[in-house]
Amino acid sequence: MTRSGVSRALLLAGVFASAPLAAADAATQTVVYAFQNNGKDGVYPDATVTMLNGTLYGTTSAGGTGRCQNGCGTVFSVNATTGAETILHSFSDVEQTAVQPGSLAVAAGKLFGTAYSGGRRDAGMLFSFDPKSGAFKQQYYFCNLDNCIDGENANPGLLDEKGVLYGTTAAGGSTDCGNGCGTVFSFDTATRSETILHAFGPNGNDGSSPQSGLVGTKRKLYGTTEFGGAFGYGTVFSIDRIGGRESIVYSFCSQQGCSDGERPTGNLVYLNRMLYGTAINGGAEDVGTVFSLDPATGAETVLHAFEGSTDADGAYPGGLVYLNGLLYGTTQNGGVNCDGGCGTVYSIDPQTGAETVIYSFCNQTDCADGAVPKSGLLNVDGTLYGVTAYGGGGGCTTQYEPSGCGTVFAITP
Protein backbone atom coordinates (compact mmCIF):
# COMPACT_ATOMS: atom_id res chain seq x y z
CA MET A 1 0.00 0.00 0.00
CA THR A 2 1.57 3.28 -1.01
CA ARG A 3 1.63 6.43 1.07
CA SER A 4 -0.05 8.30 -1.77
CA GLY A 5 -3.36 7.01 -0.44
CA VAL A 6 -6.04 4.69 -1.70
CA SER A 7 -8.34 5.70 -4.52
CA ARG A 8 -12.02 4.83 -4.31
CA ALA A 9 -11.64 2.54 -7.31
CA LEU A 10 -8.84 0.64 -5.58
CA LEU A 11 -10.84 0.42 -2.38
CA LEU A 12 -13.72 -1.24 -4.18
CA ALA A 13 -12.26 -3.12 -7.14
CA GLY A 14 -12.10 -6.86 -7.01
CA VAL A 15 -12.99 -7.41 -3.36
CA PHE A 16 -16.52 -8.69 -3.59
CA ALA A 17 -16.15 -12.33 -4.48
CA SER A 18 -18.48 -14.67 -2.63
CA ALA A 19 -17.32 -15.84 0.78
CA PRO A 20 -18.85 -18.05 3.47
CA LEU A 21 -21.26 -16.23 5.73
CA ALA A 22 -20.01 -15.48 9.22
CA ALA A 23 -21.34 -16.55 12.54
CA ALA A 24 -24.02 -14.40 14.16
CA ASP A 25 -23.01 -10.77 14.65
CA ALA A 26 -23.03 -9.01 18.00
CA ALA A 27 -25.79 -6.58 16.99
CA THR A 28 -29.14 -6.70 15.25
CA GLN A 29 -29.18 -5.07 11.80
CA THR A 30 -32.32 -4.29 9.79
CA VAL A 31 -32.65 -2.89 6.29
CA VAL A 32 -35.10 0.00 6.56
CA TYR A 33 -35.13 0.64 2.81
CA ALA A 34 -33.35 -0.75 -0.26
CA PHE A 35 -33.05 1.65 -3.20
CA GLN A 36 -34.40 0.61 -6.59
CA ASN A 37 -33.04 1.08 -10.11
CA ASN A 38 -36.32 2.22 -11.65
CA GLY A 39 -35.39 5.56 -13.20
CA LYS A 40 -36.99 7.57 -10.40
CA ASP A 41 -35.52 6.33 -7.14
CA GLY A 42 -32.18 7.49 -5.82
CA VAL A 43 -29.22 5.12 -5.90
CA TYR A 44 -25.84 4.90 -4.15
CA PRO A 45 -26.33 6.81 -0.87
CA ASP A 46 -23.02 7.80 0.72
CA ALA A 47 -23.80 10.63 3.14
CA THR A 48 -24.98 10.42 6.76
CA VAL A 49 -28.73 10.58 7.29
CA THR A 50 -30.48 12.96 9.68
CA MET A 51 -33.84 12.87 11.45
CA LEU A 52 -36.53 15.53 11.74
CA ASN A 53 -39.87 14.93 13.45
CA GLY A 54 -39.45 11.16 13.36
CA THR A 55 -38.55 10.93 9.67
CA LEU A 56 -35.13 10.09 8.26
CA TYR A 57 -33.77 12.35 5.53
CA GLY A 58 -30.77 11.86 3.29
CA THR A 59 -29.27 12.17 -0.16
CA THR A 60 -28.05 9.84 -2.88
CA SER A 61 -25.10 10.53 -5.14
CA ALA A 62 -26.91 9.21 -8.23
CA GLY A 63 -30.36 8.21 -9.40
CA GLY A 64 -33.47 10.32 -9.71
CA THR A 65 -34.87 11.81 -12.89
CA GLY A 66 -32.05 14.23 -13.72
CA ARG A 67 -30.43 13.77 -17.11
CA CYS A 68 -26.95 12.86 -15.89
CA GLN A 69 -25.45 9.45 -16.51
CA ASN A 70 -27.01 7.25 -13.79
CA GLY A 71 -29.03 10.28 -12.61
CA CYS A 72 -27.85 13.41 -10.82
CA GLY A 73 -28.77 12.43 -7.27
CA THR A 74 -31.72 12.95 -4.96
CA VAL A 75 -32.98 14.14 -1.59
CA PHE A 76 -35.16 11.45 0.02
CA SER A 77 -37.12 10.71 3.17
CA VAL A 78 -37.76 7.34 4.82
CA ASN A 79 -40.23 6.49 7.55
CA ALA A 80 -38.03 4.74 10.09
CA THR A 81 -40.92 2.58 11.28
CA THR A 82 -42.63 1.54 8.05
CA GLY A 83 -39.76 1.89 5.58
CA ALA A 84 -41.90 4.00 3.25
CA GLU A 85 -39.58 6.11 1.08
CA THR A 86 -40.28 9.31 -0.85
CA ILE A 87 -38.07 11.14 -3.34
CA LEU A 88 -38.35 14.79 -2.34
CA HIS A 89 -36.08 16.27 -4.99
CA SER A 90 -34.22 15.00 -8.04
CA PHE A 91 -31.20 17.12 -8.90
CA SER A 92 -31.19 18.23 -12.52
CA ASP A 93 -28.48 18.15 -15.14
CA VAL A 94 -28.42 21.96 -14.83
CA GLU A 95 -27.53 21.62 -11.15
CA GLN A 96 -24.95 18.99 -12.14
CA THR A 97 -24.63 17.29 -8.80
CA ALA A 98 -22.65 14.48 -10.37
CA VAL A 99 -20.48 14.25 -7.26
CA GLN A 100 -22.36 13.61 -4.04
CA PRO A 101 -24.93 15.80 -2.42
CA GLY A 102 -23.86 15.78 1.21
CA SER A 103 -25.52 15.02 4.51
CA LEU A 104 -28.29 17.31 5.72
CA ALA A 105 -28.48 19.64 8.70
CA VAL A 106 -31.62 20.96 10.40
CA ALA A 107 -31.89 24.74 10.81
CA ALA A 108 -35.03 26.79 11.47
CA GLY A 109 -37.25 23.81 10.63
CA LYS A 110 -35.65 23.28 7.22
CA LEU A 111 -33.06 20.89 5.89
CA PHE A 112 -29.82 22.35 4.55
CA GLY A 113 -27.22 20.48 2.57
CA THR A 114 -24.33 20.85 0.18
CA ALA A 115 -23.45 19.49 -3.23
CA TYR A 116 -19.80 18.95 -4.05
CA SER A 117 -20.18 19.99 -7.67
CA GLY A 118 -22.85 21.74 -9.72
CA GLY A 119 -24.15 25.27 -9.59
CA ARG A 120 -23.38 28.14 -11.92
CA ARG A 121 -19.65 27.41 -12.04
CA ASP A 122 -19.80 23.68 -11.30
CA ALA A 123 -18.10 24.35 -7.95
CA GLY A 124 -20.86 23.15 -5.65
CA MET A 125 -23.77 24.76 -3.89
CA LEU A 126 -25.63 25.04 -0.61
CA PHE A 127 -29.33 24.19 -0.79
CA SER A 128 -32.38 23.96 1.45
CA PHE A 129 -35.51 21.83 1.52
CA ASP A 130 -38.66 22.66 3.47
CA PRO A 131 -40.40 19.42 4.54
CA LYS A 132 -43.65 21.26 5.21
CA SER A 133 -44.02 22.98 1.83
CA GLY A 134 -41.82 20.71 -0.27
CA ALA A 135 -39.90 23.73 -1.53
CA PHE A 136 -36.32 23.14 -2.71
CA LYS A 137 -34.11 26.22 -2.95
CA GLN A 138 -30.57 26.80 -4.14
CA GLN A 139 -29.24 29.04 -1.39
CA TYR A 140 -25.65 29.75 -2.46
CA TYR A 141 -23.38 28.89 -5.38
CA PHE A 142 -19.74 28.46 -4.45
CA CYS A 143 -17.01 30.03 -6.55
CA ASN A 144 -19.32 33.03 -6.83
CA LEU A 145 -16.34 35.35 -6.32
CA ASP A 146 -13.27 35.80 -8.52
CA ASN A 147 -10.69 33.01 -8.26
CA CYS A 148 -13.11 31.05 -6.07
CA ILE A 149 -11.91 32.81 -2.93
CA ASP A 150 -15.33 32.02 -1.39
CA GLY A 151 -14.64 28.28 -1.66
CA GLU A 152 -15.13 25.45 -4.12
CA ASN A 153 -16.43 21.87 -3.73
CA ALA A 154 -18.44 22.01 -0.51
CA ASN A 155 -18.15 19.06 1.85
CA PRO A 156 -20.94 17.22 3.70
CA GLY A 157 -21.45 17.93 7.38
CA LEU A 158 -22.90 21.38 8.07
CA LEU A 159 -22.95 22.55 11.69
CA ASP A 160 -25.98 24.66 12.66
CA GLU A 161 -25.74 27.20 15.46
CA LYS A 162 -28.86 29.37 15.81
CA GLY A 163 -29.42 29.68 12.07
CA VAL A 164 -25.77 30.14 11.12
CA LEU A 165 -24.27 27.18 9.29
CA TYR A 166 -20.58 26.33 9.46
CA GLY A 167 -18.85 24.11 6.93
CA THR A 168 -15.80 23.44 4.79
CA THR A 169 -14.90 23.31 1.12
CA ALA A 170 -12.24 20.98 -0.27
CA ALA A 171 -10.87 23.61 -2.66
CA GLY A 172 -11.01 27.33 -3.30
CA GLY A 173 -9.79 30.05 -1.01
CA SER A 174 -6.11 30.90 -1.37
CA THR A 175 -5.15 31.62 -4.96
CA ASP A 176 -1.59 30.45 -4.24
CA CYS A 177 -2.64 26.79 -4.11
CA GLY A 178 -3.64 25.87 -7.68
CA ASN A 179 -7.41 25.60 -7.48
CA GLY A 180 -7.23 26.39 -3.76
CA CYS A 181 -6.43 24.44 -0.60
CA GLY A 182 -9.94 24.72 0.82
CA THR A 183 -11.83 26.93 3.24
CA VAL A 184 -13.86 27.12 6.43
CA PHE A 185 -17.01 29.17 5.90
CA SER A 186 -20.16 30.36 7.62
CA PHE A 187 -23.56 30.91 6.03
CA ASP A 188 -26.31 33.01 7.60
CA THR A 189 -29.62 31.35 6.69
CA ALA A 190 -31.55 34.58 7.37
CA THR A 191 -29.49 36.88 5.13
CA ARG A 192 -28.12 34.18 2.76
CA SER A 193 -24.66 35.68 3.16
CA GLU A 194 -21.48 33.58 3.12
CA THR A 195 -18.29 34.48 4.99
CA ILE A 196 -14.89 32.83 4.73
CA LEU A 197 -13.47 32.26 8.20
CA HIS A 198 -10.22 30.73 6.98
CA ALA A 199 -8.59 29.93 3.65
CA PHE A 200 -6.00 27.17 3.90
CA GLY A 201 -2.70 28.23 2.43
CA PRO A 202 0.17 26.61 0.59
CA ASN A 203 2.71 26.97 3.38
CA GLY A 204 4.02 23.70 4.74
CA ASN A 205 2.43 23.86 8.16
CA ASP A 206 -1.15 24.74 7.27
CA GLY A 207 -3.75 22.12 6.41
CA SER A 208 -5.03 21.42 2.92
CA SER A 209 -8.21 19.92 1.47
CA PRO A 210 -10.69 19.38 4.32
CA GLN A 211 -13.17 16.59 3.53
CA SER A 212 -15.61 16.69 6.46
CA GLY A 213 -17.54 19.07 8.65
CA LEU A 214 -16.80 20.80 11.95
CA VAL A 215 -17.48 20.35 15.66
CA GLY A 216 -17.87 23.29 17.99
CA THR A 217 -17.13 24.32 21.56
CA LYS A 218 -17.86 27.66 23.20
CA ARG A 219 -14.51 29.05 22.12
CA LYS A 220 -13.42 27.11 19.06
CA LEU A 221 -14.37 25.20 15.94
CA TYR A 222 -12.45 21.99 15.19
CA GLY A 223 -12.01 20.09 11.95
CA THR A 224 -9.62 17.99 9.87
CA THR A 225 -7.78 18.32 6.57
CA GLU A 226 -6.90 15.32 4.44
CA PHE A 227 -3.50 16.73 3.45
CA GLY A 228 -1.11 19.45 4.53
CA GLY A 229 0.44 19.99 7.92
CA ALA A 230 4.06 19.55 8.89
CA PHE A 231 4.36 16.18 7.13
CA GLY A 232 1.78 16.52 4.34
CA TYR A 233 -0.60 13.79 5.53
CA GLY A 234 -3.33 15.82 7.16
CA THR A 235 -4.17 17.79 10.26
CA VAL A 236 -6.59 18.52 13.05
CA PHE A 237 -7.09 22.28 13.19
CA SER A 238 -8.91 24.79 15.36
CA ILE A 239 -10.41 28.19 14.62
CA ASP A 240 -11.03 30.75 17.35
CA ARG A 241 -14.63 31.96 17.37
CA ILE A 242 -13.44 35.44 18.30
CA GLY A 243 -10.87 36.76 15.89
CA GLY A 244 -10.91 33.74 13.57
CA ARG A 245 -7.31 32.67 14.20
CA GLU A 246 -6.55 29.20 12.84
CA SER A 247 -4.09 26.85 14.54
CA ILE A 248 -2.87 23.36 13.70
CA VAL A 249 -3.55 21.16 16.72
CA TYR A 250 -1.89 18.05 15.27
CA SER A 251 -0.06 17.03 12.08
CA PHE A 252 -0.42 13.38 11.09
CA CYS A 253 2.37 11.01 10.10
CA SER A 254 4.51 12.48 12.86
CA GLN A 255 5.40 8.95 13.96
CA GLN A 256 7.50 6.41 12.08
CA GLY A 257 5.59 4.67 9.31
CA CYS A 258 2.57 6.92 9.92
CA SER A 259 1.59 4.66 12.79
CA ASP A 260 -0.41 7.58 14.18
CA GLY A 261 -2.58 7.66 11.06
CA GLU A 262 -2.75 9.65 7.85
CA ARG A 263 -5.47 11.36 5.81
CA PRO A 264 -8.19 12.10 8.39
CA THR A 265 -11.41 12.45 6.38
CA GLY A 266 -14.19 11.65 8.88
CA ASN A 267 -15.98 13.90 11.34
CA LEU A 268 -14.64 14.53 14.83
CA VAL A 269 -16.44 13.91 18.12
CA TYR A 270 -15.83 16.26 21.07
CA LEU A 271 -16.29 14.41 24.34
CA ASN A 272 -15.11 15.30 27.84
CA ARG A 273 -12.69 17.92 26.51
CA MET A 274 -11.12 15.41 24.13
CA LEU A 275 -11.39 15.05 20.36
CA TYR A 276 -11.95 11.64 18.78
CA GLY A 277 -11.64 10.86 15.09
CA THR A 278 -10.41 8.51 12.40
CA ALA A 279 -7.76 8.49 9.71
CA ILE A 280 -8.50 6.55 6.52
CA ASN A 281 -4.87 5.42 6.13
CA GLY A 282 -1.89 4.85 8.40
CA GLY A 283 -1.52 2.46 11.28
CA ALA A 284 0.27 -0.87 11.20
CA GLU A 285 -1.46 -2.09 8.02
CA ASP A 286 -2.07 1.32 6.39
CA VAL A 287 -5.85 0.82 6.49
CA GLY A 288 -6.67 3.46 9.08
CA THR A 289 -6.78 4.33 12.75
CA VAL A 290 -9.08 5.61 15.49
CA PHE A 291 -7.40 8.30 17.55
CA SER A 292 -7.94 10.57 20.53
CA LEU A 293 -6.45 14.05 20.73
CA ASP A 294 -6.11 16.45 23.61
CA PRO A 295 -6.74 19.87 22.02
CA ALA A 296 -5.11 21.63 24.96
CA THR A 297 -1.75 19.88 24.61
CA GLY A 298 -1.81 18.43 21.08
CA ALA A 299 -1.07 14.95 22.44
CA GLU A 300 -2.45 12.24 20.12
CA THR A 301 -3.11 8.62 21.06
CA VAL A 302 -3.97 5.81 18.65
CA LEU A 303 -6.87 3.91 20.20
CA HIS A 304 -7.03 1.31 17.44
CA ALA A 305 -5.15 0.50 14.24
CA PHE A 306 -7.29 -1.46 11.77
CA GLU A 307 -6.00 -4.70 10.31
CA GLY A 308 -8.06 -4.96 7.12
CA SER A 309 -9.48 -8.43 6.51
CA THR A 310 -7.22 -9.93 9.19
CA ASP A 311 -9.28 -11.35 12.07
CA ALA A 312 -12.43 -9.82 10.52
CA ASP A 313 -11.30 -6.31 11.46
CA GLY A 314 -12.45 -3.27 9.47
CA ALA A 315 -10.53 -1.15 6.97
CA TYR A 316 -10.79 2.50 5.88
CA PRO A 317 -12.96 4.02 8.64
CA GLY A 318 -15.47 6.87 8.37
CA GLY A 319 -16.72 9.22 11.08
CA LEU A 320 -17.74 8.46 14.66
CA VAL A 321 -20.80 8.83 16.88
CA TYR A 322 -21.13 8.49 20.66
CA LEU A 323 -23.61 6.19 22.39
CA ASN A 324 -23.73 4.95 26.00
CA GLY A 325 -20.05 5.22 26.79
CA LEU A 326 -18.77 3.88 23.47
CA LEU A 327 -17.86 5.34 20.09
CA TYR A 328 -19.38 3.72 17.01
CA GLY A 329 -18.30 3.94 13.40
CA THR A 330 -18.24 2.22 10.03
CA THR A 331 -15.49 0.95 7.76
CA GLN A 332 -15.80 0.79 3.97
CA ASN A 333 -14.03 -2.57 3.77
CA GLY A 334 -12.98 -5.32 6.15
CA GLY A 335 -15.22 -7.80 7.86
CA VAL A 336 -15.63 -11.46 7.01
CA ASN A 337 -18.28 -11.81 4.32
CA CYS A 338 -16.44 -10.80 1.14
CA ASP A 339 -12.92 -11.26 -0.15
CA GLY A 340 -11.42 -8.11 1.37
CA GLY A 341 -14.59 -7.33 3.28
CA CYS A 342 -17.77 -5.43 2.46
CA GLY A 343 -17.48 -3.17 5.48
CA THR A 344 -18.36 -3.19 9.14
CA VAL A 345 -19.99 -1.38 12.02
CA TYR A 346 -17.71 -1.36 15.05
CA SER A 347 -17.58 -0.01 18.58
CA ILE A 348 -14.57 1.30 20.44
CA ASP A 349 -14.11 2.10 24.09
CA PRO A 350 -12.60 5.61 24.32
CA GLN A 351 -11.02 4.75 27.66
CA THR A 352 -9.34 1.45 26.81
CA GLY A 353 -9.26 1.42 23.00
CA ALA A 354 -10.97 -1.99 22.93
CA GLU A 355 -12.55 -2.43 19.48
CA THR A 356 -15.37 -4.82 18.60
CA VAL A 357 -16.84 -5.46 15.16
CA ILE A 358 -20.55 -5.66 15.90
CA TYR A 359 -21.70 -6.24 12.31
CA SER A 360 -20.10 -7.35 9.05
CA PHE A 361 -22.00 -6.39 5.90
CA CYS A 362 -22.99 -8.76 3.10
CA ASN A 363 -24.03 -11.18 5.81
CA GLN A 364 -27.05 -12.14 3.70
CA THR A 365 -27.27 -13.70 0.26
CA ASP A 366 -26.39 -11.28 -2.57
CA CYS A 367 -25.63 -8.59 0.03
CA ALA A 368 -29.32 -8.02 0.71
CA ASP A 369 -28.31 -6.37 3.99
CA GLY A 370 -26.10 -3.82 2.20
CA ALA A 371 -22.41 -3.39 1.46
CA VAL A 372 -19.76 -0.65 1.73
CA PRO A 373 -20.93 1.95 4.26
CA LYS A 374 -19.04 5.10 3.30
CA SER A 375 -20.51 7.55 5.81
CA GLY A 376 -21.08 7.86 9.53
CA LEU A 377 -23.96 6.84 11.77
CA LEU A 378 -26.87 8.71 13.37
CA ASN A 379 -27.86 7.93 16.96
CA VAL A 380 -31.59 8.15 17.63
CA ASP A 381 -32.55 6.99 21.14
CA GLY A 382 -30.03 4.14 21.10
CA THR A 383 -30.67 2.97 17.55
CA LEU A 384 -27.97 3.71 14.99
CA TYR A 385 -29.03 4.59 11.44
CA GLY A 386 -26.74 4.60 8.43
CA VAL A 387 -26.49 3.92 4.72
CA THR A 388 -24.56 1.53 2.51
CA ALA A 389 -23.54 2.68 -0.95
CA TYR A 390 -24.19 -0.73 -2.49
CA GLY A 391 -26.02 -3.96 -1.78
CA GLY A 392 -29.67 -4.35 -0.95
CA GLY A 393 -30.71 -5.59 -4.38
CA GLY A 394 -32.69 -3.17 -6.52
CA GLY A 395 -31.19 -4.04 -9.90
CA CYS A 396 -28.01 -1.94 -9.87
CA THR A 397 -24.89 -3.65 -11.22
CA THR A 398 -21.46 -2.23 -11.99
CA GLN A 399 -18.10 -3.61 -13.01
CA TYR A 400 -16.49 -3.47 -9.58
CA GLU A 401 -19.04 -3.03 -6.78
CA PRO A 402 -21.44 -5.68 -5.47
CA SER A 403 -24.90 -5.67 -6.93
CA GLY A 404 -27.49 -3.43 -5.38
CA CYS A 405 -28.37 0.26 -5.31
CA GLY A 406 -27.67 0.82 -1.61
CA THR A 407 -29.65 0.74 1.61
CA VAL A 408 -30.77 2.67 4.65
CA PHE A 409 -30.21 0.46 7.69
CA ALA A 410 -30.81 0.42 11.41
CA ILE A 411 -28.60 -1.35 13.91
CA THR A 412 -29.17 -1.90 17.62
CA PRO A 413 -25.95 -2.54 19.53
Q: Which tens digits make up the pLDDT trace of 194-233?
A: 999 999 987 668 999 999 999 999 999 999 999 999 999 9
**Mean pLDDT of the region 150-178:** 89
Amino acid at 28: T
Average pLDDT score over residue span 35-42: 95
Helix (H) / strand (E) containing 22:
none
Confidence of residue 288 (pLDDT cuts 50, 70, 90): very high
Neighbours of 191 (CB within 10 A): 9
The pLDDT assigned to 119 comes to: 77
Torsion sign (Cα): 270, 50, 96, 11: positive
Rounded Cα distance between 17 and 311, Å, is: 18
pLDDT, one tens digit per residue, over 58-88 is 999 999 998 888 888 999 999 999 999 999 9
**What local confidence, expressed as pLDDT, does residue 131 receive?**
95
pLDDT tens digits along 358-383: 999 999 999 999 999 999 999 999 99
Element (H, E) at 199: strand 193-199
Element (H, E) at 7: none
pTM assigned to the model: 0.92
Q: How far is CA 285 from CA 4, 290, 348, 409, in A?
A: 14, 13, 18, 29
Dist CA 410 CA 413 (whole Å): 10
Structural domains of the chain, ranges and CATH numbers in brackets = 10-30+103-364 (2.120.10.30)
Would you tell me how many other CB atoms lie within 10 Å of the CB of residue 4? 7
Model confidence over 101-117: pLDDT tens digits?
A: 778 999 988 999 999 88
- Of 173, 259, 270, 172, which Cα lies nearest the Cα of 223? 270
Query: What band does 397 get if pLDDT is binned at 50, 70 and 90?
Result: confident
The 3-state DSSP class for residue 404 equals coil
Count of CB atoms situated within 10 Å of the CB of 403: 19
Residue 387 is given by DSSP the state E
Q: Give strand ranges (E) for 335-369.
A: 344-348, 355-360
